[in-house]
């Protein structure tokens, strides 16, 4: 499946976005995450969803939504205030899409309370390298929670 993802990344994305997406795919593989369509999992547990295509409008061309509990830190994956700030900048507020979270719920993300949050706590739209480092930490936290 990874070859198909890499082919899509190379045909759909360019510049830094393409570089970041390829880096992210390498990160997923090196941490034994499984990519199955839009779903990324570890040991059968979904850790995030990834949308990838050549469209111009959100969520295209590349968006990642986190799954899991980020109410507190994981002692095995240290994070700093910068990572928390980036996570908070990417809170995924309910867009009334009709999903299970509609109209959104109150969630605590690293000790800070947010209202009207989607069931996928955070959304990273065309993440730059700094946002991607935050996302990697979040996924490693999720992996540790699963282990």
Over residues 127-132, mean pLDDT: 94
Alpha helix positions (H), the chain: 2-12, 15-30, 81-89, 129-146
Domain count, the chain: 1
- pLDDT value at residue 2: 66
| Closest residue by Cα to residue 25 from 10, 45, 5, 44 | 5
- pLDDT value at residue 98: 67
pLDDT exceeds cutoff 80 at 57: no
Give per-residue pLDDT as tens, 90-120: 999 987 776 677 778 889 999 999 999 888 8
Over residues 18-34, mean pLDDT: 94
Looking at the chain, the whole-number percentage of residues with pLDDT higher than 70 is 97
- pLDDT value at residue 123: 93
Q: Residue 142's domain spans which residues?
A: 2-146
Distance CA 107, CA 103 (A): 13
Query: Could you check whether the bond before residue 103 is cis, i.e. omega within 30 degrees of 0?
Result: yes
Give per-residue pLDDT as tens, 28-55: 999 999 998 889 999 999 999 998 887 7
Angle at 86 between CA 120 and CA 14, to 5 degrees: 85
């Amino acid at each position: 499946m990874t070859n198909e993802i890499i082919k899509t990344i190379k045909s759909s994305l360019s510049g830094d976005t393409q570089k970041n997406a390829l880096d992210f795919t390498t990160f997923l593989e090196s941490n034994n995450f499984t990519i199955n369509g839009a779903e990324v999992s570890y040991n059968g547990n979904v850790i995030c969803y990834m949308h990838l295509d050549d469209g111009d409008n959100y969520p295209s061309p590349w968006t990642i939504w986190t799954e899991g509990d980020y109410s507190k830190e994981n002692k095995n994956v240290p994070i700093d205030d910068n990572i928390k700030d980036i996570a908070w900048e990417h809170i995924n507020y309910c867009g009334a899409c009709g999903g299970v979270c509609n109209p959104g719920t109150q969630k605590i993300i690293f000790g800070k309370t947010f209202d009207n949050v989607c069931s996928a706590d955070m959304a990273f739209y065309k993440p730059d390298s700094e946002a991607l480092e935050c996302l990697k930490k979040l996924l490693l936290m999720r992996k540790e929670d699963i282990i």
